[in-house]
Chain A
Amino acid sequence: MQCKTRLATERFDPNGEYATFQSTLVDEGAIVTFVGVARPQSAAGGKVTGLFLDHHPRLTEASLNEIAVDAGRRFDVSAISVVHRCGNVSPGEAIVFVATAALHRRAAFEAAEYAMDRLKTEAVLWKREDAVDGSRWIEPTITDQVDRARWSK
């Protein structure tokens, strides 16, 4: 299984990540990609001026790698790529990119979903949303926790 993870300190291009990922594949019949994008509005409706993602000098990258490896092992995928931003992120910029490849679609879909559910709750990152009506540190929602818990069954 091919596994690649990267903590990006600068803006990255999801299309470029996909092209790189796709170029490494051989005989897979399914590729799934997910791109998480910084929203321009907060949950309260205020205009978001940016996000700040605090990170740990070692454990953040280790957590990305652990999640990607687990996703690859749990499902029958041949390749997985995870790129996650840290630092200052502007609205409209990609925060996270996940790509999975497998012989068939089900494994690729499930591995990508599993990876995202764990990234939301277990990636060693701390996300602050800065909006015109104030800043707030974002924490996983009940839905995020439920989404994560379903993979424990």
Chain B
Amino acid sequence: MKVRFYGRLGEMLGAEIDVDPPAGTDTVLKLREVLVQTYPDASTDLRQRSRACIADTMVSEDHKLLGTETIEFFPPLSGG
């Protein structure tokens, strides 16, 4: 599974990483916890300060993961 990060998260963790989550990681929420285990320094941003996006659509925490998709995490936006 590919995971992409933007903004502060991209700077901390890299723009794109490959993740092979353990069996049972079948929701966005569970994937966040897997990422937090790997990147504890980014736990606040991963858990509370980012939204998940799949196929250019924002998804909820209980969105079911197939394991083959690319998931992106968006920190708070800031344009203008």
Instruction: Give the B-binding residues of A (Cβ under 8 A).
Output: 36, 53-56, 58-59, 62-63, 84, 95-96, 116, 119-128, 137-140
Contacts and interface: CB of A to CB of B under 8 A. Distances in A.
Contacts of B77: 121-126, 140
A54 B7 contact: yes
Contacts of A116: 80
Contacts of A62: 56
B48 interface: no
A24 to B, nearest CB: 24
Given A58-B56, A59-B56, A126-B6, A139 B76 contact: yes
B78 A126 contact: yes
Given A58-B56, A124-B74, A119 B7 contact: no
Interface of B: 6-8, 10-11, 53, 56, 72, 74-80
A95 B80 contact: yes
Contacts of B78: 120, 125-127, 137-140
Given A58-B56, A137-B75, A96 B80 contact: yes
A96 B6 contact: no
Contacts of B8: 126, 128, 137
Nearest to B4: A56
Greatest chain A CB density within 10 A among B53, B74, B79 is at: B79
A126 B75 contact: yes
